[in-house]
Amino acid sequence: MIRDQLLDAVRQGMVALGVADPPDSIVVERPARREHGDWSTNAALVCSKIVGTNPRELGQALADYLEANRPPHVDALEIAGPGFVNFRLAPTWLHDVLVEAVTAGPDGYAKPNLGDSSSVNVEFVSANPTGPLHAGHGRWAAYGDSLCRIFARCGYAPHAETYVNDRGVQINTYAGSLLARKNGEPVPEGGYQGEYIIEWAGEMPDDITTPSEAAGWGMEFALNDQKEALAAMHVAFDTWSSERAAVDAGLLDSALQRLKEGGHVYEDGGATWLRTTDFGDDKDRVLIKSDGDYTYLTPDIGYHENKFERGDLVIDILGADHHGYVARMSAALQALGHPKDAYEAIIGQNVKLMRDGAEVKLSKRAGDIVLLSELVDEVGPDVARFAYLMQSIDTSLKIDIDLLKKESSENPVFYVQYANARIHAIGRKAAELGIERQPLADTDLGLLVHERELDLLRVVSELPDVLESACADRAPHKITAWVRELAAAYHGFQHDCYVLRDDVPADLQQARLWLVESARVGLTIGLDLLGVHAPESM
């Protein structure tokens, strides 16, 4: 890659200038402003202290060295600002990017091996089996699924998992609520008030009369409902883990036993405690209540321990209301002997759903929830996923349902989908005209010199870096942002550069057809990472 070639040259230059061991903080990057060249290095600023000269002088010396030992594609060098060395490259470096992209294709371009096949277990959604998924859950579904796609492309072996809390008090509450509604009675105090309970109770067979029967039937019904909603969004899990099954399999007992053997457990006030403060938690946590029942934490520890069988790295994707959970789970897993960095919790901020200009509450106990299935029905899985992935997971997400339903330029999804449709329209039109793309080797890419053409290739060239960063930062929204940039560059290109019109010379036409292909490769990869399908015509 061009950047590595430039960086190598810069580092060699610094060695030649007396920096025995050039620091890693030397970078070659794309300057924010085009006037500052195609690439730029901070080497002189970083190394000036080591050499004892001022950055501008060192920069000049570096520029002189590079002038004499010119890396590929470099047209001109200049020193600027406080001591940056800027590279101006011939367009040939972008033509190389085109060749790389279309040769590797959607399966091979932008495929960094960061994970070296190590496995990563990603748990997300994990809703209680006591009701339907609401529109807020969609964020975790879209995020988790996209993150797994990113991991997979970056050389990891991801395992998508969701956890079903199918035991505990909320199940009894749920069963009680179902039975009460079945009998036409108001739900008990603290029960589930949602409209769906009435509806679901109506579907419950008459021979179900006991709480335990209602619980069994209700959980299965809820799970099926959730699976349908996720399937409509094209989200699938490798594993659905049942809390009850984990307890029955003895995962809880064996984890508890090992914690005791490790000396991390003590009794106090009739309860059994885990000394999580030894591993950074701010207070110890109860494992077994004084009434003999486990807290929610205890089976969760057993379950998390078990997840290491399905991942070298275990990641939980949790809502902001669970952030207090992280320190105790991390402490428990460390007490079981796992390295601190083998467990990672990603805390996502909440979803605010707007409809008719007002916020819609998403609480399951309140009446008017917007179901995930409703949202996906209304706008489709692609629009929904794109909307969920537009923002950083660290920010609360406002989703305006009215806006998503509008198929207009106010809705960014269509901008991207339209770019995809136009790319494919070129292909259709070319076929209609009997124009075929000739072998790449016979194509003169040197004809691609229009600013729009080069801008498009610049965006294509950035995908590998964007992907690495999206993976390292667990940030699918960086892919969304890149896809929007690519669409913008493509629309700009297509506006100013004709491909198939009569007056386009045949050799330029060929080069542009390959350019369109490189955009197709990039867009295909980007949209696939988001799990968003784009229609070939609109």
Q: Which residues 282-341 are close enough to bind RNA by CB under 7 A?
A: 282, 286, 289-291, 293, 295-297, 320-325
Cβ atoms within 10 Å of 205's Cβ, excluding its own: 9
Shortest distance, position 201 Cβ to RNA, whole Å? 22
- Applying CB under 7 A, which of residues 269, 357, 434, 505 lies at the interface with RNA? 269
SS3 522: helix
How far from chain centre, in Å, is Cα 359? 26
- Applying CB under 7 A, which of residues 35, 189, 341, 436 lies at the interface with RNA? 35
Shortest distance, position 530 Cβ to RNA, whole Å? 14
Write each residue from 222 to 261 as x if it is in contact with RNA (CB under 7 A), else as -, in one continuous string: ----------------------------------------
Distance, in Å, from the CA atom of 523 to the CA atom of 517, rounded to the nearest integer, reads 10
- Applying CB under 7 A, which of residues 109, 217, 303, 418 lies at the interface with RNA? 418
Amino acid occupying residue 419: A
Shortest distance, position 115 Cβ to RNA, whole Å? 21
Write each residue from 499 to 538 as x if it is in contact with RNA (CB under 7 A), else as -, in one continuous string: xxx-----------------------------------xx
The two tokens of residue 253 are 């007992």
How far apart are the two ends of the chain, measured CA to CA in Å? 36
Shortest distance, position 118 Cβ to RNA, whole Å? 25
Q: For the residues of 259-307, what is the DSSP string, one character each?
A: HHHTT-EEEETTEEEE-GGGGT-SS-EEEE-TTSPBPTHHHHHHHHHHH
Shortest distance, position 473 Cβ to RNA, whole Å? 8
Give residues 471-490 in contact with RNA (rule: CB under 7 A): 475, 477-478, 481, 484, 488
- Applying CB under 7 A, which of residues 8, 199, 253, 496 lies at the interface with RNA? 496
Indicate the residue among 51 and 390 with the shorter CB distance to RNA.
390
Indicate the residue among 183 and 408 with the shorter CB distance to RNA.
408
Sequence-ordered list of residues with C-beta below 8 angstroms from that of 20, at least 6 positions apart, any chain:
none
Distance, in Å, from the CA atom of 116 to the CA atom of 287, rounded to the nearest integer, reads 37
Vertex 123, ends 121 and 129: CA angle to 5°?
145
Dihedral sign (CA 462, 467, 468, 474): positive
Phi then psi for 371, rounded to 5 degrees?
-75, 150
- Applying CB under 7 A, which of residues 199, 368, 410, 444 lies at the interface with RNA? 410
Shortest distance, position 55 Cβ to RNA, whole Å? 7
Task: Give yes or no for a contact between 490 and 417, defined as CB atoms under 8 angstroms apart.
Answer: no
Q: Does position 55 bind RNA by CB under 7 A?
A: yes
Task: Give yes or no for a contact between 214 and 179, defined as CB atoms under 8 angstroms apart.
Answer: yes
- Applying CB under 7 A, which of residues 407, 431, 444, 472 lies at the interface with RNA? 407
Task: Give yes or no for a contact between 302 and 354, defined as CB atoms under 8 angstroms apart.
Answer: no
Tell me, letter by letter, the H, E, C secondary structure of 101-134.
Answer: HHHHHHHHCCCCCCCCCCEEEEECCCCCCCCCCE
Indicate the residue among 65 and 490 with the shorter CB distance to RNA.
490
Task: Give yes or no for a contact between 388 and 136, defined as CB atoms under 8 angstroms apart.
Answer: no
Shortest distance, position 392 Cβ to RNA, whole Å? 3
Shortest distance, position 194 Cβ to RNA, whole Å? 16
Indicate the residue among 5 and 170 with the shorter CB distance to RNA.
170
Indicate the residue among 100 and 418 with the shorter CB distance to RNA.
418
Distance, in Å, from the CA atom of 490 to the CA atom of 418, rounded to the nearest integer, reads 10
Shortest distance, position 450 Cβ to RNA, whole Å? 11
- Which of 529, 420, 532, 415 is closest to 479 using CA atoms? 529
- Applying CB under 7 A, which of residues 107, 203, 429, 444 lies at the interface with RNA? 429
Q: For the residues of 140-195, what is the DSSP string, one character each?
A: HHHHHHHHHHHHHHTT-EEEEEEEE--SSHHHHHHHHHHHHHHTTPPPPTT----H
Span near RNA by CB under 7 A; candidates 5-13, 43-51, 368-376, 524-532: 43-51
Q: For the residues of 394-418, what is the DSSP string, one character each?
A: TS-EEEEHHHHH--STTSHHHHHHH
Shortest distance, position 231 Cβ to RNA, whole Å? 24
Shortest distance, position 261 Cβ to RNA, whole Å? 22
Q: Does position 395 bind RNA by CB under 7 A?
A: yes
How far from chain centre, in Å, is Cα 97? 25
Shortest distance, position 484 Cβ to RNA, whole Å? 6
Indicate the residue among 78 and 312 with the shorter CB distance to RNA.
78
- Applying CB under 7 A, which of residues 396, 402, 444, 472 lies at the interface with RNA? 396
Give residues 152-181 in contact with RNA (rule: CB under 7 A): 165, 168-170
Write each residue from 75 to 94 as x if it is in contact with RNA (CB under 7 A), else as -, in one continuous string: -----xxx-x-x--------
Span near RNA by CB under 7 A; candidates 145-153, 199-207, 309-317, 411-419: 411-419
Indicate the residue among 117 and 409 with the shorter CB distance to RNA.
409
Shortest distance, position 346 Cβ to RNA, whole Å? 10
Distance, in Å, from the CA atom of 75 to the CA atom of 527, rounded to the nearest integer, reads 35
Shortest distance, position 21 Cβ to RNA, whole Å? 17
- Helices (H) then strands (E): counts for the chain: 19, 15
The two tokens of residue 319 are 């809502």
Write each residue from 189 to 228 as x if it is in contact with RNA (CB under 7 A), else as -, in one continuous string: ----------------------------------------
- Which of 261, 504, 307, 538 is closest to 425 using CA atoms? 538
Q: Does position 388 bind RNA by CB under 7 A?
A: no
Give residues 119-148 in contact with RNA (rule: CB under 7 A): 128
